[in-house]
Amino acid sequence: MALYLTRRRAAAAVLPAALLLPLAACGSDDSAKDAGAGKATGSPRVNLTVLAAASLTDVFKTAGAAYEAKNPGTRITFSFAGSQELIAQVKQGAPADALVTADTKSMDSVKADTAAPAVIARNRLVIATVEGNPHEIDELKDLGDPKLKVVLAAPEVPAGKYSRKILDARKITVKPVSQEPNVRAVLSKLELGEADAGLVYKTDAASAPGKVDAVDIPDAQNAIARYPAAVLKQSGNTEAAAAFVAWLSSPEAQKILRDAGFQQP
């Protein structure tokens, strides 16, 4: 009887140790995985905030995903708005790491707050109409028809400045039913059927197939939009921000931009 009790006590003592072995092994695997993940990224996780022109909304979502796939230690958050709004945010000290505007003039206005910018793409305007172009708009002068509901970007917005420039050059008087804070808002008015026509970038019209039609504007009557990108000096991640801005000029990023309808810098 004494021998039996001794053996039971010995077995009970061994059992907890045996149960701990699988748990210890599991902890080792998790630690190895964590170490491997850290080794794979090559650097601590970095979160970048990029202020970008509204017309870059779709293409930058694609570009950002591609960049993150190549750089798993980096996460990018985009804040899209009209360039004039982005400039106001920079001047107010909003926390961000990089800036991409739809014109060089906007970027020049905050040159004291940025590193040297680089133009990463170009764009041009088109006449966007509701699907099917029921009013048969063929050229710029058609926008002067007072019966048409035309919507434009506001004068302080790059797309609005370009629009006024090409309309004034042809002496075409347009009284818009509304002037929007960014070019995507112009596009939205057309998609909702709240306007008959408007001036947007070619890439914006291309982003809404089946909702709007685009009428090309001849080069001689058009304006070229240039998109500069720069690192913000206030960034707490200047090295990572500079890497992303430089990547925007790489063959991989340029292909993404061209596939979306943007032109080479």
Domains of the chain: 46-122+226-259 (3.40.190.10), 123-224 (3.40.190.10)
Note the pLDDT tens digit of each residue in 246-260.
999 999 999 999 999
Question: Could you tell me how many helices (H) and strands (E) the chain has, helices first?
Answer: 9, 9
Tell me, what amino acid is at 175? K
Q: What is the pLDDT of residue 63?
A: 98
**What b/e readout covers 181-204, taking b as 16+ CB neighbours within 10 angstroms?**
bbbbbbbbbbbeeebbbbbbbbbb
Q: What is the pLDDT of residue 7?
A: 42
Torsion on CA atoms 137, 198, 226, 232, rounded to nearest 10: -170
Within 13 Å and on the Cβ side, how many CA atoms surround 247?
20
pTM of the model as a whole: 0.81
By the 8 A CB rule, do 250 and 66 touch? no
Tell me, what amino acid is at 89? Q
Q: What is the pLDDT of residue 127?
A: 98
Q: What is the pLDDT of residue 22?
A: 38
By the 8 A CB rule, do 244 and 96 touch? no
State the CB neighbour count (10 A cutoff) for residue 206. Answer: 16
Q: Which class for 12: exposed (0-12), middle (13-18), buried (19 or more C-beta within 10 A)?
A: exposed
Using 70 as the pLDDT threshold, list the residues of the chain that sit under it: 1-44
Q: What is the pLDDT of residue 44?
A: 58
